[in-house]
Amino acid sequence: MAILSLNHVVKKYRDHTAVNDVTFDIQKGSIFGLLGPNGAGKTSLIRMITMITAPDSGEILLDDQRLNSAHVQNIGYLPEERGLYKKMKVAEQLLYLAQLRGLSLETAKSEVRHWLEKFDASDWWNKTIDELSKGMQQKIQFIATVLHKPDLIILDEPFTGLDPMNTNLIKEEIYRLNNEGVSIIFSTHRMEQVEEICKDIVLINNGKVVQTGTVNGVKQKFKEHIYKVEFEDRFNGNLNGSQYKVVSQDANSIVIKNPDETSANELLTDLIRSGAQIKSFNEILPSLNDVFIKIVENTNQI
């Protein structure tokens, strides 16, 4: 079941169409990658989902209901451009934002203490934001996004400014929240993070949906039938003159490009017939980064 559905959504700014007939669903309990190059329309989509702006046509549904102002309390949004008040104290800021999201003062205090303790930041209570490092500010921004316990969280470049330790900390919290049933929209330019974190993705370019599906399904769609074969000993077989293209080779392994019409089983059979003692045989799928570049280049040429 979808927690969020966009149906033929259009958004224009004067003579520029930022979002052009966009349709996709985000399933409940998923970590969903919203991808696209700069200027693709991602920010415009997020602003409509959070009701900062409204679509010119089409509809957005949250839990099968047309998106309305009451739904905003159930959405957490961490923007790429951070919005903390620099001269405001950490606790004052978090309590203020929590109450804007509908929490009582007492509940807000309890949640703020909980999260600051979780992030080993209890002594930040009376510090102003501009006293904190960028990484510390990012952790406060993350707390502000999740402390009202929304069912849908939108994270736009959530790891910016974080060192590897704190990146892992935030990542663990993302997984924990997701395991508790929270649906997450994850937007980033870091494709390796998408491969690690997301199951489903949509790729937007020039305001349109150009690819959607599971991460693995999209990579399978763009595979080039390249295999890496490792041998027990030095490969002395002969594939010269065959239909296979040797991409690279060393003493104990070979990377081969297989013609589309030839199955992996046929390749494996031919290798065995050549006298190879095979240790492992694996298909090399393109990285999501390679797929992203190929799709964007292709759609930009249309």
30-75: per-residue pLDDT in tens? 999 999 888 889 999 999 999 999 999 999 999 999 999 889 889 9
- Where in the sequence is the domain holding 247, given as residue range(s)? 224-284
Place 242 in a pLDDT band, splitting at 50, 70 and 90: low
* Mean local confidence (pLDDT), 288-292: 91
- Lowest mean pLDDT of 23-27, 79-83, 102-106, name the range: 79-83
Average pLDDT, the chain: 90
Reported as a pLDDT band with limits 50, 70 and 90, residue 12 is very high
Model pLDDT, residue 271 = 82
102 found inside a domain: yes
Kindly state whether residues 22 and 91 are assigned to the same domain. yes
The CATH number covering residue 264 comes to: 3.30.70
Name the pLDDT band for 238 (thresholds 50, 70, 90).
Answer: low
Query: Both 76 and 113 in a single domain?
Result: yes
Q: Looking at the chain, how many residues does it have?
A: 302
Going by their DSSP bridges, the two strands 253-257 and 245-249 should be labelled as antiparallel
The reported pLDDT for the residue numbered 252 is: 86
* Number of compact structural domains in the chain: 2
Specify whether 162 is located in the same domain as 279.
no
Tell me if 69 is assigned to some domain.
yes
pLDDT above 60: residue 1? yes
pTM more than 0.85: yes
CB 244 within 8 A of CB 256: yes
The answer on 112 and 79 residing in a single domain is: yes
Per-residue pLDDT, 46: 95
Tokens of 12: 């224009």
CATH at 20? 3.40.50.300
Same domain, 195 and 95: yes
User: What is the C-alpha to C-alpha distance for residues 50 and 37, in angstroms, rounded to an integer?
Assistant: 21
CB 125: neighbour CB atoms within 10 A? 14
CA-to-CA distance for 225 and 211, rounded, in angstroms?
Answer: 20
Q: Are the beta carbons of 142 and 78 closer than 8 angstroms? A: yes
8 Å CB contact between 9 and 60: yes
Residue 240 has a pLDDT of 53
Neighbours of 291 (CB within 10 A): 21
Claim to verify: residue 6 and residue 122 sit in the same structural domain = yes
